[in-house]
Amino acid sequence: MRKTSYDTRLSFQGMPIKTLLPLGTKLFRLMRLAAGSYFDGVWWMPEAVFRELHETADRSTHGSGRLFRNYVTQAMALPVGDVQLCVAEIELTRGVYGWVGKSAPLFERPGGLEQVFLPNLAERGNPGSSVVAKVVRTYWLKF
């Protein structure tokens, strides 16, 4: 069994809940490049959170990929940087357990939206492949 090298509880407000994510669940994450390593990340946004942030950015008169990325960074407490340029959307091909909870206010940001910690999604030694998920699509954020 593989373990993470850090205490993930610090990334949640309170204790996360071990949750069965059913077949067909869609999850999203921002990444530097959509270049094949889709499943190497452990932090994912549920579809409802992703859509909410996307729609908020779209309603803005100056909405763009940069604004969307800033919303995600604030709510999900991602590290600062201009490296989250792409979106990866995956769909679970079978039910799996993940840890679900509200994101902690890290990096002096509010956090507070639901996030999913899903380790070991990638096949061992192959971050571009998973036996429990498939890539639906990837795309660049427009700046």
Is residue 122 a part of any domain in this protein? yes
Is residue 102 a part of any domain in this protein? yes
What is the structure's pLDDT at 1?
Answer: 44
What is the structure's pLDDT at 100?
Answer: 94
- Structure letter (DSSP) for residue 79: P
For the chain, how many structural domains are there in total?
1
Is residue 26 a part of any domain in this protein? no
**What are the tokens at 2?**
């593989």
What is the structure's pLDDT at 34?
Answer: 65
Is residue 14 a part of any domain in this protein? no
Is residue 67 a part of any domain in this protein? yes
Residue 93 lies in domain: 40-140
- The larger pLDDT score, comparing residue 99 to residue 3, is at 99
Nearest to 143 by CA among 81, 71, 88, 63: 63
**Residue range 47-82, pLDDT digits in tens:** 999 888 888 878 887 766 777 777 777 777 555 566
Tokens 């959170």 label which residue?
Answer: 49
Is residue 75 a part of any domain in this protein? yes
Distance CA(38)–CA(29), nearest Å, equals: 9
Is residue 33 a part of any domain in this protein? no
Is residue 49 a part of any domain in this protein? yes
Strands 86-92, 133-140: parallel, antiparallel or unpaired by DSSP? Answer: antiparallel
State residue 21 phi and psi, 5-degree precision: -90, 115
